[in-house]
């Protein structure tokens, strides 16, 4: 049941509410679990949303294999493999092989660099890869390098990794996290990426979360109103060329577009999150997102409320909720 509860507030603050969703969700043949291999990574993105907990750094191989068996035993048929950077985990292929042995297919959320290695993308396809979300935060090398914490070589690897995935026939969605460095040139990004990879790729623009270890980076100190005009121009330009776009963590009213449906956290319709520390608990993604998002009281009357992600509590406490204006 969808419901709402009011959050306690300081008398001078805006009254907030949170959506209530069930804490459990049955597994069906259509379920998809977010499966993290650990937070270790070969990039150094300053805004990284990872938790930074030392115990989450690199899950050992034996534990990961056991988790695959456990997921299969629960009836899970598909996972999104992520991290950290999943492809840099030393047991990456062993985990992938075990997924295949247990009858699971997989998608990947990756920074893309490892796919630049000769044969890596083809092998991934042979071993069950269905789709890829690759983080490319800018087409401008210097900007990409700063946002992804990589050298010029690292940026080239991201591009070549995407080339290899596209050449291997993998449906690719590019993910751009909005920062102060890249939000002004979304149209340039659209033009550049479609010139290189055609109109088959999909593009996702993500409003940054400040919850992770990179939350204090000044580059993501943004408000919705700082980026709304550019995001509207971007989706309009995508529509004009029939390119599929997605938004993540955008209340539709923040860009005055009721079609701006929120994607789940990594964007492939994951239904469940496998606890990355215990490995033996599955939480509904919708429940996690409901716990993280909050709303203004006036949102109750909005026709988009049922699917809106709201804003983070930290955001609402800092900036208030004046940007949340219900559709009529
Ligand atoms: C933590 S990363 C792990 C996967 C992979 N290493 C990558 O970067 O694509 C998961 C997703 O979070 C995105 N991300 C990183 N920092 C973020 C932030 N502050 N807010 C929102 N998304 C963020 C990445 O672009 C990626 O799509
Ligand atoms: S966002 Fe992804 S690529 Fe960047 S540091 Fe975090 S885990 Fe690595």
In the chain, domain spans: 26-44+52-294
Q: CA dihedral defined by 309, 324, 318, 225, rounded to 10 degrees?
A: 100
Q: What is the pLDDT of residue 293?
A: 87
Tell me, using a 6 A CB cutoff, whether residue 174 lines ligand 1.
Answer: no
pLDDT tens across 47-87, in order?
999 999 999 999 999 999 999 999 999 999 999 999 999 99
Q: How far is CA 88 from CA 41, 112, 114, 152, 269, in A?
A: 7, 10, 7, 19, 24
Pick 26-44+52-294's CATH classification: 3.30.450.40, 3.20.20.70, 3.40.190.170, 3.90.700.10: 3.20.20.70
> Is 174 in contact with 138 (CB distance < 8 Å)?
no
CA torsion through residues 179, 182, 187, 192, sign: negative
Side by side, which strands form the sheet with 245-248?
245-248, 202-206, 172-177, 129-135, 105-110, 78-82, 33-36, 272-274, 282-284
Q: What is the pLDDT of residue 255?
A: 85
Across the strands, what pairs with 107?
80
> Ligand 1: which atom is nearest the Cα of residue 83?
3
In the structure encoding, which two tokens stand for residue 79, read together?
A: 């996972």
Taking alpha carbons only, the member of 128, 81, 134, 131 closest to residue 110 is 134
Report, as ranges of residue numbers, the positions in the chain whose pLDDT lies below 50.
Answer: 1-2, 8-12
Tell me, using a 6 A CB cutoff, whether residue 312 lines ligand 1.
Answer: no
Alpha carbon distance 217, 96 (integer Å): 34
Q: What is the pLDDT of residue 94?
A: 98
Across the strands, what pairs with 19?
4
Give SS3 for 72.
helix
Tell me, using a 6 A CB cutoff, whether residue 109 lines ligand 1.
Answer: yes
Q: What is the pLDDT of residue 13?
A: 56
Name the residue of 43, 50, 82 whose CB sits within 8 Å of the most ligand 1 atoms, as the mutation to test its pocket.
82
| C-alpha 94 – ligand 1 centre gap (Å) | 24
| pTM for the full predicted model | 0.94
Q: What is the pLDDT of residue 78?
A: 97
Name the residue of 36, 43, 115, 214 whose CB sits within 8 Å of the most ligand 2 atoms, as the mutation to test its pocket.
43
> Ligand 1: which atom is nearest the Cα of residue 50?
1
Kindly identify the ligand whose nearest atom is closest to the C-alpha of 85. Answer: 1
Q: How far is CA 250 from CA 7, 85, 139, 177, 286, in A?
A: 21, 25, 22, 12, 15
> Ligand 1: which atom is nearest the Cα of residue 214?
19
Q: What is the pLDDT of residue 4?
A: 56
Kindly identify the ligand whose nearest atom is closest to the C-alpha of 147. Answer: 2
> Is 271 in contact with 76 (CB distance < 8 Å)?
no
Tell me, using a 6 A CB cutoff, whether residue 83 lines ligand 1.
Answer: yes
Kindly identify the ligand whose nearest atom is closest to the C-alpha of 221. Answer: 1
Peptide bond into 123 cis (omega under 30): no
């Amino acid at each position: 049941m969808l419901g709402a509860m009011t959050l306690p507030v300081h008398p001078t603050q805006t009254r907030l509410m949170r959506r209530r969703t069930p804490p459990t969700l049955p597994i069906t043949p259509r379920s998809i679990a977010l499966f993290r291999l650990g937070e270790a990574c070969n990039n150094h993105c300053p805004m990284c949303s990872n938790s930074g907990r030392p115990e989450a750094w690199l899950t050992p191989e034996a534990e990961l294999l056991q988790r695959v068996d456990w997921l299969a035993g629960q009836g899970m048929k598909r996972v999104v493999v992520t991290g950290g950077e999943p492809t840099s985990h030393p047991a990456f292929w062993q985990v992938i092989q075990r997924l295949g042995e247990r009858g699971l297919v997989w998608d990947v959320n990756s920074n893309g660099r490892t796919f630049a290695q000769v044969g890596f993308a083809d092998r991934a396809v042979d071993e069950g890869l269905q789709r890829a979300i690759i983080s490319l935060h800018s087409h401008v090398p210097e900007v990409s390098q700063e946002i992804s914490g990589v050298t010029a070589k690292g940026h080239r690897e991201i591009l070549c990794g995407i080339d290899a995935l596209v050449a291997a026939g993998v449906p690719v969605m590019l993910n751009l996290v909005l920062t102060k460095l890249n939000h002004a040139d979304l149209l340039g990004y659209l033009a550049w990426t479609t010139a290189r990879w055609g109109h088959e790729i999909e593009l996702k623009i993500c409003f940054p979360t400040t919850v992770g270890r990179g939350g204090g980076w000044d580059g993501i100190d943004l408000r919705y109103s700082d980026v709304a005009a550019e995001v509207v121009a971007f989706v309009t330009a995508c529509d004009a060329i029939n390119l599929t776009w997605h938004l993540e963590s955008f209340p539709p009213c923040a860009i005055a577009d009721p079609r701006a449906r929120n994607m789940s956290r990594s964007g492939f319709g994951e239904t469940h999150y496998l606890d990355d520390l215990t490995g033996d608990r599955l939480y509904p993604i919708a429940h996690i997102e409901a716990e993280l998002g909050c709303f203004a009281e006036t949102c109750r009357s909005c026709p988009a409320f049922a699917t809106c992600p709201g804003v983070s509590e930290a955001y609402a406490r800092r900036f208030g909720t004046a940007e949340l204006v219900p559709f009529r």
